[in-house]
Amino acid sequence: VRFPEDLEDDNTTFNPEYSHQVFGDDEVAFGYKGLKILLYYIAGNLSTLFRIEYTSKVNEKFDCVEADDVESKIRGIIPPGFCTNTDDFVSLLEKEVNFKPFGMLLHTYSVHNEEAGEDITYQIYKADMTCPGFREYHERLQTFLMWFIETASFIDVDDERWNYFLVFEKYNKDGATFFATVGYMTVYNYYVYPDKTRPRVSQMLILPPFQGEGHGAQLLETVHRYYMSSPTVLDITAEDPSENYVKLRDFVLAKLCQDLLCFSPGKLTQGFSQEMVMEAQQKLKINKQHTRRVYEILRLRATDMGDAEQSRSYRLDVKRRLIGPYKKKQRELAKMRRCLRPEELTNQLNQIDLNMQHEQLEETFQQLVSDYRRVLERLAQA
């Protein structure tokens, strides 16, 4: 909500992707007809209005059943201090001109908006719990995780190893400058013996109205650039990354690596090298596993897949990496031959069908190439 009229505008509304963390695996609120759970957030500081509406509710006295206590379930995830009536909420909205982003400005960029016919400015900030008002703001911000990240949990904000990176839209209204929350990322700084840290991306969310506009890539690249300047950072990882996050990371890391000398087309066709691992880690804080994926993406761009020899060379190179888990199975099988009785061995052999392995390997390879091509298409447009 930016203006009072947004309260009645369905175009500013977005629905949750998940509700199982609040309403159980079936995602059902029992005992109501026409139930509406209404959560409004002021665009900048995320002050909240919470209301429940329904046309009827089961009555324990007559129906011998009890309706779910929806209100207490929602109160369990939104912090106290929210509004319950519209007038109080609108009066808070009038104070929004005083809201300013928290922390240190790291990056400013613009995105062309077709609908508005103009470039819109966005800014990325790094904040921590010492910023006045940030703790309360973060409590409101993290409630979105429950609706948009499948296995989300709230973090321990008293742990000083957390860093917070925030994206805001900067806009003008009646000659004044306002800021709207776009998304954020939390990063935990793990200690690595003897004197390094390994930042690990924990949560990342771009709010639905802003998705598909490139903000995730801007945020991830900005975070990488922030840590790249620190001599104590070893490399940057992610905790249990989603498929979408992996695709985003592939694009951002390939964009960063493509300008390194060791990723020039001539070097790429010679194969994956220790030089690539060293340069990507030292200059860009990228670990070996991620560097290998970037190499495969950029080598695909440098390969003429219509040329039989180049195509074969690329396919064998990628499959040599993919075959690792299958080779592990073969080693386990060799151990079994030494340890198991014949009938037990036959049972295990039946589970390891070599033809099936080859089919799975080819299927995995084709899927990877398809994913890599999408990254290259995006790189070409960047």
State the amino acid at position 17 in one-letter form: E
- Catalytic positions, written as ranges: 239
- The structure's pTM equals 0.90
pLDDT of residue 328: 63
pLDDT confidence bin for 277, thresholds 50/70/90: very high
Per-residue pLDDT of 197-209, as tens digits, reads 999 999 999 999 9
Percent of the chain with pLDDT over 90: 81
Under 8 Å CB-to-CB from 121, ≥6 apart: which residues?
Answer: 108, 109, 110, 169, 170, 171
Nearest-angstrom CA–CA distance, 186 and 175: 33
pLDDT at 157 over 70: yes
Q: Within 10 A of 342 (CB to CB), how many other CB atoms are there? A: 8
Nearest-angstrom CA–CA distance, 112 and 115: 9
pLDDT confidence bin for 152, thresholds 50/70/90: confident
pLDDT of residue 355: 65
pLDDT of residue 293: 97
Under 8 Å CB-to-CB from 341, ≥6 apart: which residues?
Answer: none
Q: What is the mean pLDDT of residues 231-250?
A: 95
pLDDT of residue 114: 84
26-40, 216-230, 330-344, range with the lowest pLDDT: 330-344
Structural contact between residues 102 and 125, judged by C-beta atoms closer than 8 angstroms: yes
Per-residue pLDDT of 12-42, as tens digits, reads 899 999 999 999 999 999 999 999 999 999 9
The encoded tokens of residue 89 equal 């909420």
